[in-house]
Structure 1
Amino acid sequence: MLTGWRKTVSKCFLIPQRYVLGIMGFLAIVNAYTMRISLSVAITAMVVPRNTTNVTDTDTCPYPDDHQTGDGPITNSDNLYDWDSETQGVILSAFYWGYVITHMPGGILAEKFGGKYSLGLGILSTAIFTLLTPIVVQHGGYQWLIALRVLEGLGEGTTYPALNAMLGKWVPVHERAKIGTLVYAGGQIGTVVGNALSGYLIEATGDWSSVFYVFGALGLLWFVIWTLICYSSPDTHPFISDEEKSYLRKELAESTSSKSKKIPWRAILTSVPLWALVAAQIGHDWGFFTMVTDLPIYMSDVLHFTVSKNGIYSSVPYICMWIVSMGSGWLCDWLIVKNYMTVTFARKFFTTVASIGPGIFMVAASYAGCDDVLVIALFTISMGFMGTFYCGMKVNALDLSPNYSGTLMAIINGLGAITGIITPYLVGALTSGHTVQEWRVVFFISLGVFIVTNIVYVLFASGEEQWWNRPDDTNFHKSIENGILREKEKKMEAKANKKAAKASKK
């Protein structure tokens, strides 16, 4: 394996181009998430603080003794806004209004013209709108901030469909969990960097606007590098070695050899494994968006952390999630290559771990009350379990159809992202009193969503390539039919053996 890896190294790079793509795809999602979630920390410094009087209600955490002085300057008092919990919920959910809309166009464009520019231009536009955020807020108020967040969402909506379309053209089957997990783990690292650096910048500068200037500038820098070194497919890449190009052609020849350029919409939209995957995505996104968008608010309003501590402690769970996601990606590939698990069983197993574990520990954190160390530990364990989603359901679209993986991701991620519209507003509406009991209800709802969606996935999901990935390939269809017949024959033979065994016992 190592020898083959060395033979595919480009003369201009120290690693194969598919890994260059993986790293840049990872950084794309890192940038996307820093620009997306930085507002979650910044908004705690943008709004007028609540009454800081210590309370004795057992369902409300007391303020720390140094709360009024904090650990440094928070922000300019003239630069604060009187937004209630529901208004904050609407502001935080606005991003996803636009995010949902551009998934489908982004996936279709990426498959037709290549993912390089549909992804690159999406991140570029988000970076520009991020840089404009302070100006818009200061001169237009929260209504214009909502509009700007919608525009940011429109830009980022192409991210996952475009990346999935490119991975379908670049990544062999036995490397999907590793490279796919590397790319999608950018969500955790982006969340870690976004939370921690936002808190630090606000404390250091005393101005929440610094957050948007820094992350917007980093987005612009990524776009320049991406444009120079990454390409939509191996055949169009000027720096790829002949060995790697031949290797990828051989590995991907069958699954990406469809002669039909027309998307088989009817077959896709009536595919049971696809809708099982949609269900799993909804469950994952419900829990993930609840945490990503609202955990800093929980740290601020319930545990009463200062903005710098908020940024640091809100990022800790995602470090654990990233470590688990990377490790489970390698483990998943190893189990499949060694035939300890089928692709289908592996996807279902790791998705189940990522569904039940997070839900249980979210609820447990709400019962830890005001013990901030225990609360953070339980949230960290919760997000650690969630890390196995990436080698489970997140790469499953590539299994079903490498040819139409961009379209599939547009459908799956687009429908899942609707939860990003619902959860911030729902959390804002349910937690107006900022009590532990209110947040407990939020986490129980998340647990319920996890369980229901995971049951659907386990019952109906598949890790096998679907017939509509190659609708014109009659040999492929015959092989599927023969495989189904062989499975039926095996089941019938097993039943006959059981009956014979029972008869012999009698």
Structure 2
Amino acid sequence: MVESPNWREKLGKACIPQRYILAIMGLLAIVNAYTMRVSLSVAIVQMVGKGNSSSNVDPNSCPYPGDNGEEVVEGEFDWDSETVGIILSSFFWGYIITHLPGGILAEKWGGKYLLSVGILSTAFFTLLSPTAAKYGGSGWFIAVRVLMGLGEGTTFPALNTLLAQWIPVQERSFWGTMVFAGTQIGTVIGTALSGVLIEAWGWESVFYFFGTCAIIWFIIFTLICYSYPEDHPYITAKEKQFLAEKLGDTVNRDLPPIPWRSILTSVPLWGLVAAQIGHDWGFYTLVTDLPLYMSDVLHFSIGKNGLYSSLPYLVMYVISMSSGLLADFLMTRGYVSITNVRKIFTSIASFFPAVGLIAASYAGCDEVAVIVIFTIFVGLMGTFYPGMKVNALDLSPNYAGTLMAIVNGIGSLTGIITPYLVGVLTYDHTALQWRTVFWIVFGVMNITNIIYVFTASGEVQPWNWGEGGRNPKDADDQVQHNEKAEKVENEKRKESH
């Protein structure tokens, strides 16, 4: 009697290729990671509340809603702006620590369990967050945020390793962009839904809801995804052959030792690091502090705050996906080289959002103008994803996890700096103090982009095959060339005799 195929085998034989299923689950991994990360940015507005501020003496300050021109919202915790800055930055203290180990281990053992266990541990500490804040105060709450960061630090290196093993170069801009654009989807859901959840059930509900969603993702991902195509029990022979043909020249499961000297002296890599610093400086300032700006300057209610704070990331996602398709089209047709595509799209994502932040800070109390400027200009940051975000895959598919760990790890240092800097600079919560914050963002994003434009490359680097290594395809071509030359030489000898 022949057993009927189980549900996983049916899924494997379905019309959806396994590499697309992996990419979709990778997208959902980042969505869950970001909802757990950014929900605090909205929740903390309600956790600390707000009282009468010295912003009333600021001529650029917007009036509070209501007849008396001011509003007092009691918070559960008496934390000042500097403490809030430390709390918002504490996640990144743990986040940067596990980046490099995560990348190295993912390349050695595969990315599946580094990714899934990391998300699971983040979910556990997310669920624990309300208890830590209520009964342990700011110290225990900070400790839990650090532990959340430790778990989530493996996310991007592990995902980069998985994409390098599963996604061929001609599909990389679109699928890589789709996966990494999960940062916008997660931010949209995390900020918009947090406002709704808080108004309905209190600030604690956001931690319970998003932590539970991440656990559900973990169960599904571990059942249907695998680190390598050759290990997948239900992949079709056709897809396995396709991936072997398209990826065989650039990825190698049995890697030589990591070529640290070549990596650390690579000019394109450090240009990529500069671009990541600029992007993260702007992005983390917005992700962690935009709800605070909406509260401090525009005095939005918590529900309105969450909704409007999410709009720029919704537009950013649409632009990410459309620009990913455009990037693939330009490269496939040969209109623009890979290197120039990365530079052009990165430059768009650096200059226009930086200009938008400055413009919004000078728009005064015109809510419509401020929201439109934030939404459109910050949304253009989405072109970073077919720009510099997939550039590590170009430079070295074999060591994509290590490169992502270096690039994203160094960039994530800005996640420690920017929330604390905002807390120190905006101690009176005034529009003028926030404008100073946005001018600093403008300078950092544009200076780092200039460095990237002069140093970036979209070509596979020689050290992709190890220290002093060579592309196996090039080596095979050389062998064939030598064999052909030897054959011609033997024929000449026969003719001379």
Q: TM-score, normalised by structure 1?
A: 0.89
Which of 144, 149, 164 is equivalent to 2:145? 149
| CA deviation profile, 1:284-317 (whole Å, cap 9, x unmatched) | 0000000000000001111100000000000011
| CA deviation profile, 1:47-96 (whole Å, cap 9, x unmatched) | 142127994742211101279999xxx99x6x701111111000000000
Answer whether contact 1:120 1:227 (CA < 8 A) is retained: yes
Q: By how many angstroms is 1:474 displaced?
A: 6.1
Q: Hey, what's the Cα distance between the residues in 2 that align with 1:419 and 1:480? A: 45
1:15-26 equivalence runs, <5 A? 15-26=16-27
Which of 259, 264, 269 is equivalent to 1:264? 259
Q: Hey, what's the Cα distance between the residues in 2 that align with 1:381 and 1:414? A: 28
Answer whether contact 1:123 1:219 (CA < 8 A) is retained: yes
1:424 aligns with 2:425: no
Answer whether contact 1:467 1:480 (CA < 8 A) is retained: no
Which of 220, 225, 228 is equivalent to 2:220? 225
Q: 1:220 to 1:258 in 2, by over 3 A?
A: closer
Instruction: Report the equivalent of 1:105.
Output: 101
Instruction: Report the equivalent of 1:65.
Output: 66
Q: 1:106 to 1:259 in 2, by over 3 A?
A: closer
Answer whether contact 1:168 1:405 (CA < 8 A) is retained: yes
Residue 31 of structure 1 aligns to which amino acid in structure 2?
N
1:21-420 equivalence runs, <5 A? 21-51=22-52, 55=56, 57-65=58-66, 80-205=76-201, 207-257=202-252, 260-420=255-415
Residue 401 of structure 1 aligns to which amino acid in structure 2?
S
Q: Gaps (5+ residues) in structure 1? A: 1-8, 482-506
Residue 37 of structure 1 aligns to which amino acid in structure 2?
V
Answer whether contact 1:160 1:409 (CA < 8 A) is retained: yes
Answer whether contact 2:188 2:311 (CA < 8 A) is retained: yes
Q: Hey, what's the Cα distance between the residues in 2 that align with 1:86 and 1:188? A: 27
Q: By how many angstroms is 1:450 displaced?
A: 0.9
SS for the counterpart of 2:50 is coil
1:445 aligns with 2:404: no
Answer whether contact 2:197 2:206 (CA < 8 A) is retained: yes
Q: By how many angstroms is 1:261 displaced?
A: 2.6
Q: 1:474 to 1:366 in 2, by over 3 A?
A: closer
Answer whether contact 2:297 2:429 (CA < 8 A) is retained: yes
Q: Hey, what's the Cα distance between the residues in 1 that align with 2:224 and 2:38? A: 27
Answer whether contact 1:401 1:465 (CA < 8 A) is retained: yes
Q: Hey, what's the Cα distance between the residues in 2 that align with 1:321 and 1:165? A: 25
Q: By how many angstroms is 1:257 displaced?
A: 3.6
Residue 95 of structure 2 aligns to which amino acid in structure 1?
Y
1:467-506 equivalence runs, <5 A? 467-471=462-466, 472-473=469-470
Answer whether contact 1:44 1:307 (CA < 8 A) is retained: yes
Q: By how many angstroms is 1:476 displaced?
A: 5.9
Answer whether contact 1:191 1:318 (CA < 8 A) is retained: yes
Q: 1:53 to 1:109 in 2, by over 3 A?
A: closer
SS for the counterpart of 1:101 is coil
- RMSD over aligned Cα, in angstroms? 2.1
Answer whether contact 2:354 2:441 (CA < 8 A) is retained: yes
Q: Hey, what's the Cα distance between the residues in 1 that align with 2:255 and 2:412? A: 30
SS for the counterpart of 1:141 is helix
Q: TM-score, normalised by structure 2?
A: 0.90
Answer whether contact 1:285 1:416 (CA < 8 A) is retained: yes
Instruction: Tell me the percent identity.
Output: 60
| CA deviation profile, 1:138-189 (whole Å, cap 9, x unmatched) | 1000111111100000000000000000000001001010000000010000
Q: Hey, what's the Cα distance between the residues in 2 that align with 1:435 and 1:68? A: 16
Q: Hey, what's the Cα distance between the residues in 1 that align with 2:298 and 2:98? A: 37
Instruction: Report the equivalent of 1:495.
Output: none
Structure 1 outlier segments of 4+, above 3 Å? 9-14, 52-57, 66-70, 257-260, 474-481
Q: Hey, what's the Cα distance between the residues in 2 that align with 1:124 and 1:336? A: 38
Q: Hey, what's the Cα distance between the residues in 2 that align with 1:410 and 1:246? A: 30
SS for the counterpart of 1:149 is helix
Q: By how many angstroms is 1:443 displaced?
A: 0.7
Answer whether contact 1:325 1:389 (CA < 8 A) is retained: yes
1:445-464 equivalence runs, <5 A? 445-464=440-459
| CA deviation profile, 1:215-269 (whole Å, cap 9, x unmatched) | 0000100000010011111011112111000000000010114764311111111
Q: 1:306 to 1:264 in 2, by over 3 A?
A: same
Q: Hey, what's the Cα distance between the residues in 2 that align with 1:111 and 1:348? A: 27
How many residue pairs match? The answer is: 467
Q: Gaps (5+ residues) in structure 2? A: 1-9, 479-497
SS for the counterpart of 2:96 is helix
Answer whether contact 1:321 1:384 (CA < 8 A) is retained: yes
Answer whether contact 1:67 1:306 (CA < 8 A) is retained: no
| CA deviation profile, 1:30-61 (whole Å, cap 9, x unmatched) | 00000001000000000142127994742211
Answer whether contact 1:54 1:62 (CA < 8 A) is retained: no
Answer whether contact 1:161 1:410 (CA < 8 A) is retained: yes
| CA deviation profile, 1:197-216 (whole Å, cap 9, x unmatched) | 100001012x1101100000
Instruction: Report the equivalent of 1:489.
Output: none
Answer whether contact 2:55 2:61 (CA < 8 A) is retained: no
Q: Hey, what's the Cα distance between the residues in 2 that align with 1:458 and 1:67? A: 52
Q: Hey, what's the Cα distance between the residues in 2 that align with 1:218 and 1:172? A: 30
